[in-house]
Amino acid sequence: MNINTPIKQVTAVPSPVNAEESVSQEPLIQEAGIEYAELWRVIRGVLVVWAVAVWLLLVMMPGMQQIIDIGSAMLHLPHMFIGLGLVGAIFASYSLRSDAHLLWFLGVLLLIAGWM
């Protein structure tokens, strides 16, 4: 059985940061040259284009190919319309700059695309 024993000697690790030098993090971020707000605007646009491509390629086209009669239409059309509604919601959240809703709608659309 292992018994916890207290350490008898205090160990100190020297810090590479000097406490007297207060260096702000802002110059380091500005030197990197990455503007995350600009990058996120581009990523948001790419995500919207990706969502439309996912709906077209993984939901609408297979759904249209599988419809051969009224029974199969009743089976596949609701998923196609749900996906179309999600694409509309993605466009609405993109234009309203609602990023959390945009990501949620993208996730649900991907689940429906995987199900199709």
* 18-67 residue pLDDT tens: 655 555 555 555 555 678 888 888 999 999 999 999 999 988 998 899 99
The predicted model scores a pTM of: 0.64
- 64-73 LR contacts (CB < 8 Å, sep 24+): none
pLDDT reading at 102 higher than 60: yes
Minimum mean pLDDT range among 9-18, 46-55, 72-81: 9-18
pLDDT digits (tens, 9 = 90+) for 79-97: 899 989 999 999 999 999 8
Which strand (E) or helix (H) includes residue 71?
Answer: helix 70-95
Which residue has better confidence, 5 or 71? 71
How far is it, in rounded angstroms, from Cα 107 to Cα 38?
23
- What are the angstrom distances between the C-alpha of 45 and each of 22, 37, 41, 49? 39, 13, 6, 6
pLDDT of residue 65: 93
pLDDT of residue 3: 67
> Side-chain half-sphere of 18: how many Cα atoms within 13 Å?
4
pLDDT reading at 71 higher than 70: yes
pLDDT reading at 5 higher than 70: no
